[in-house]
Chain A
Amino acid sequence: RKEVEQDPGPFNVPEGATVAFNCTYSNSASQSFFWYRQDCRKEPKLLMSVYSSGNEDGRFTAQLNRASQYISLLIRDSKLSDSATYLCVVYPSGTYKYIFGTGTRLKVLA
């Protein structure tokens, strides 16, 4: 089993739609969680950190469920510019290693 698993997609959604991605992780000692965004042939960039109580940044909401070991990302009112690959990242405590999922590809259609 991979340490961090994501549905690769693609998720094809119309503009204005709401879309959600999940990510599961296997290491219960995981300490920190993040969502990164990666555009085609570009470097990953931090979208948002994920906090235990859940957090929101504009149209983006992230949730953490430690009991079930998954994190989620909800995007409301999708824009064409949201088309990208979304990477789930987990940081197990006691290491210096960030563990990346393989990413979920989102395509927002006009």
Chain B
Amino acid sequence: NAGVTQTPKFQVLKTGQSMTLQCAQDMNHNSMYWYRQDPGMGLRLIYYSASEGTTDKGEVPNGYNVSRLNKREFSLRLESAAPSQTSVYFCASSEGGAGTDTQYFGPGTRLTVL
């Protein structure tokens, strides 16, 4: 059982380049999330999808877009990367978003923007 998978694991971009981070879960979860983690800042929510077909902004959405492609997949796009977007990105999923559910995280993508 793979759980939550993310690709790529590492990426280096130049300022202004674009890329899409992929996330997939095989647990039939309804809710999916994208976080970024920076030293001393903890995990901050970028976007979330409470259920298939819906997406909403989190705490730090500027510079990002998301697509809930289907129930399994939730992608994060950087249209024009900036050095401030250098971070570790985690995707997570939970069963129903009711607040009592465990969140399961992918292994993360380490992104460096030069």
Contacts and interface: CB of A to CB of B under 8 A. Distances in A.
A103 B102 CA distance: 18
A101 B48 CA distance: 18
Contacts of A8: 40
Interface in B39-69: 40-45, 48, 50, 56, 58-59
A93 B99 CA distance: 7
Contacts of B58: 97
Given A96-B31, A96-B48, A45 B105 contact: yes
A87 B50 contact: no
Given A87-B43, A96-B31, A96-B56, A31 B107 contact: no
A46 B103 contact: yes
A32 B105 CA distance: 18
B103 A102 contact: no
A43 B105 contact: yes
Interface in A35-73: 42-46, 49
B12 to A, nearest CB: 17
Contact of A49 (B48, B50, B56, B100): B100
B50 A96 contact: yes
A64 B114 CA distance: 44
A11 interface: no
Interface of A: 4, 8, 31-32, 34, 42-46, 49, 87, 89, 91, 93, 95-98, 100-103
